[in-house]
Structure 1
């Protein structure tokens, strides 16, 4: 029960005009009950009680398959014989190859477009909601594919990729935020980790298609894979048309009856929907009283600055621990000494293994904390990256070539098991509810700021017309991964089993990152 002293304390904290949810005994009890049940609910119970929420979270995350498809497609094109013969230059000892500047441009252009998209995502989503913003992006995706498909030069293809990048930015900014808001506390890790699985699905489809078309010598070797991008937007538009809007977004807009309807659609709740609404409303009102209407400037004010920095660091670090090897896997395998045909086969195997790793990540997030997974995953990849560098530094023969290829697969597997999935979970949980749409967008922008120069560096390291380092790139990526590990050790808090209210309070109290797990937050605390 809530005593009168507690109510008076709340009035003093937030003023005499405090909203009813923060001072009403009955509503507070409902909010307490709903939050306690979320803490008590196990993963399997949450799945059984919220199957529809899991489904809609997966569908929203599946939009990422389009960015993944295109990224992996470019990585395969630069290794494809027909594409290299059409657009490449002849290099003595290596045959036709795509020049480094165009190879990096094909990767960078899409990310430049996505950079614009993620900045636009926050204001658009705050105004339209996750559902309508995603529908708008899917329409735009359908339209921009035409440019890439009909491109007759590397320049036009690069422009096409830049335009396609804009809807990618909207997808990647909204998907983790939406998924984290519609599922119960115990499912946030698994459902946001689905984003990395969508990347792997895109990789599998691309690996299979490019392997099938690699032996063609005409333009359809790359035009058919480009055309297959149209497989995704229209079916997803139909599905997302029926998706419920995030109840958190609806509450922020004052549309509580619609939020209640959305809560009812998302699960067969053990608690009353009204209690869940009260729990959400309480958190939203606390944040509103402390911060007001969300703006981009709020991301760099007070304790929200710390949360923004963590989000940006998590996104940016995805580029520094071996991920770029995975994105250019086929080309990496070629430079490691594998034949073109076997490189495409190995890339397909690699993509399937990444999918398996993503599935295992669901269980990993249920068993271990976010901070634990990230630190151990990064440490593991640092070890393998250094071994890769050593393997490429000794006298080369068939055995060392295969060893480099195998290490590339292992590094990709570890990333898909730990670093990739858990980064999305951390990103979704770190930001405040009030600023989530803005925070995930700016965080992803940090990813592109880091990735765009790293793509050029990765292309320069692997390309025969560049530094031609092959597996020696492991030294560089191992070094950058070490920096990521050190920063995470000091700045990354443990947010597993924390409600959004508890997370807000821990950040507002400026609790050190390594004490987040042990700090107790009372169910009655609002600040």
Structure 2
């Protein structure tokens, strides 16, 4: 008896010493726990979108709050692109190109747009290990504290050099937010709601762009430093309220179970909407089962695991989904005001049209909730990308003919349409695909590396985009559609052969499909038995 007690104590000590991924092998060996796991997974499969939303309103709320942290990256990204079109900012920091006309040199435009992304690139790599150690909740709180502090650098900047440094420091917490938001959102809601809640990431981008567009338009006529300082100061409205809310948010039950904190995971599930203890226990058993299946392949996760076995394929898909956002004309939306000016619109009308575009993008985001429930992930991604390929080449053709007021308006219209189509299809569904593709045990690391791929491709693409649009660069205006149309075609071909269909799949089923090395176009047709534990 004493020997058994010693063994139990030793086992508990060993488990406590494990940094992550505590084993739960009993769920695969005990019939009652296995039946609970089967019931929990079947229950999620049988739910409709609206039923799941009514049963899990708290989960939807907390997923949205976590995704809303992206509004800060969106706000700052769009703010910089509006600054280069803001007359007072041009006079303060730019060079005079002709009497009474100023512009920000191409190299400084690129530096302003790229510095934040460089900081975020560092942030996403820090986010993975930190999240694995302290969880989604505390990592996000840490990011919000850093965000509050780093805004001061940009606000008090008196030169472009300091402004660029400030943007780089602000980028680090952006990396925390974008790495954690899709992972957390997908883990706290049942299967039918994954697409809807992860799509709110794109909505947060639109909300940030609307606030920036409104602020830039409102302060555009000011003739002092507050024309650009006031919009910068608006960044402080986000971190503190979000920090307070997230402090009270439940931690992901999946993360808690990986740490062996079963009671806390059960409480988290109840807070997220499982009012019945019985239902919560079944969901917990489902989580245990999936985690144990993954742990049979390996133990504590590391970055190198992303490059091993079937996880390499999942990492490549995640990276491609993120990177493709920079190759399908979305950078036209990110530099909309400046693009409209180069397309021949007046400064004032460009700011107005940018605000309209941002509002239409938000409408597209909301419409994406219907599209994601109606169509497959793969179909929506390829379909939306196909539409934008057509419009990108149409934009380029219009910009290639002799220009007049009609062609100028046509270019502006195509720019708006491309932005809205992206906001309703490729943008939101990319985040859903990213959240569903990675394995549970590697999710914090996978989303971080995927976002790093986004920044690695965005940084040169921002330079290219600035070069194509700037009057001191190539001055292509709408002809940039030839470039973005060509890169979008490449993304479509790669997605056609590599992108699997994971709609309606549990994380267990996704693991099995990848482990079987199922071809991408066969994912939706493959039947997985409910008792398979591969």
Alignment TM-score, normalising by the size of structure 1: 0.96
What is the SS of the residue equivalent to 2:96?
A: strand
The alignment yields a C-alpha RMSD, in angstroms, of 1.0
Which of 89, 96, 99 is the aligned partner of 2:102?
Answer: 96
Partner of 2:455: 448
Select 1:409's aligned residue among 409, 416, 422.
Answer: 416
Match of 1:345 in 2: 352
What is the alpha-carbon distance in structure 1 between the residues aligned to residue 292 and residue 127 of structure 2? Answer: 23
Q: Per-residue deviation at 1:444?
A: 0.1
Aligned length: 511
Structure 1 residues 140-161: Cα deviation after superposition (integer angstroms, max 9, x where no partner) = 0000000000000001000000
Of the three residues 360, 364, 386, the one matched with 2:367 is: 360
In the TM superposition, what whole-angstrom CA distance separates every residue of 1:195-233 from its partner, at most 9, and x where no partner exists? 000000000000000000000111000000001100000
Name the structure 2 match of 1:4. none
CA shift, 1:287, in A, is 0.4
* Equivalent position SS for 1:434: coil
Q: 2:7: which partner in 1?
A: none
- Whether 1:492 aligns to 2:499 is yes
In structure 2, the CA distance between the partners of 1:94 and 1:46, relative to structure 1 (3 Å rule), is: farther
Measured after TM superposition, the shift of residue 292 of structure 1 is: 1.1
Q: Name the structure 1 match of 2:511.
A: 504
2:195 is aligned with 1:189: yes
2:273 corresponds to 1:267: yes
Conserved in 1, the CA contact under 8 Å of 2:144 and 2:240? yes
- 1:419: how far off? 0.7
Correspondence for 1:380: 387
Picking from 320, 327, 332, the partner of 2:327 is: 320
Deviation readout 1:266-321 (Å, 9 max, x if unpaired): 00457621110000000001101112110000000000000000000000000011
Secondary structure at 1:90's aligned position in 2? Answer: strand
- Which aligned pairs between 1:8-19 and structure 2 lie closer than 5 A? 19=25
Q: How do residues 105-504 of structure 1 correspond to structure 2 at under 5 angstroms?
A: 105-269=111-275, 272-504=279-511
Matched-pair contact (CA < 8 Å) for 1:94–1:464: no
Contact 2:125 2:448 in 1 (8 A): yes
**CA offsets per residue over residues 455-497 of structure 1, 9 Å max, x none?**
0000000000000000000000000000000000000000000
Q: 1-side partners of 2:239 and 2:208: how far apart? A: 13
Deviation at 1:94, TM superposition (A): 9.1
The structural deviation recorded for 1:95 is 2.2
How far does residue 333 in structure 1 lie from its aligned partner after superposition?
Answer: 0.3
User: Which structure 2 segments of 5+ residues have no match?
Assistant: 1-22
Return the alpha-carbon distance in structure 2 between the equivalents of residues 290 and 301 of structure 1: 11
Which residues of structure 1 form unaligned runs of 5+?
A: 1-16
Deviation at 1:182, TM superposition (A): 0.1
- Kindly indicate whether residue 491 of structure 2 is the aligned counterpart of residue 513 of structure 1: no
Please identify runs of 4+ aligned residues in structure 1 that moved more than 3 A: 268-271
Q: 1: CA distance between counterparts of 2:98 and 2:527?
A: 65
Kindly state the Cα deviation for residue 93 of structure 1 after the two structures are TM-superposed.
Answer: 8.7
1:8 paired residue number: none
In the alignment, structure 1 residue 50 sits paired with structure 2 residue 50: no
Q: Which residue of 1 aligns with 2:18?
A: none
TM-score, scaled to structure 2: 0.95
In 2, Cα distance between the equivalents of 1:337 and 1:186? Answer: 45
Structure-1 separation of matches of 2:454 and 2:54:
35
Q: SS in structure 2 opposite 1:91?
A: strand
1:31 equivalent in alignment to 2:37: yes
d(CA) in 2 for partners of 1:348, 1:130: 33
State the distance in 2 between where 1:483 and 1:331 align: 26
Q: Is the 8 A contact 1:50 1:269 kept in 2?
A: no
Matched, 1:525 2:532: yes
CA distance in 2, matches of 1:164, 1:177: 22
1:23: how far off?
Answer: 1.0
Preserved contact between residue 135 and residue 240 of structure 1 (Cα < 8 Å): yes
Equivalent position SS for 1:516: helix
Matching residue of 2:73:
67
Check 1:437–1:397 CA distance in 2 against 1; reply closer, same or farther (3 A cut).
Answer: same
Q: Matched residues in 1 for 2:363 and 2:99: separation?
A: 37
Counterparts of 1:317 and 1:94, CA distance in 2: 40
Q: Which whole-Å CA distance do the structure 2 matches of 1:150 and 1:272 have between them?
A: 53
Note if contact 2:24-2:288 (Cα within 8 Å) is conserved in structure 1.
no
Shift in Å at residue 18 of structure 1? 8.1
Question: Aligned-pair distance for 1:351?
Answer: 0.3
Cα distance in 2 for residues equivalent to 1:93 and 1:151: 27
What displacement does 1:87 show?
1.1
CA distance 1:18–1:80, change in 2 (3 Å): closer
Match of residue 20 from structure 2? none
Residues 239-279 of structure 1, C-alpha deviations (whole Å, 9 max, x = no match): 00000000000000000100000000000457621110000
2:9 maps to what in 1?
none
**Cα distance in structure 2, aligned partners of 1:133 and 1:94:** 48
Task: Say which SS state the counterpart of residue 237 (structure 1) adopts.
Answer: helix
| Counterpart-to-counterpart distance in 2, 1:405 and 1:155 | 32
Q: Are the aligned partners of 2:199 and 2:365 in contact in 1 as well (CA < 8 Å)?
A: yes
Deviation, structure 1 residue 510: 0.1
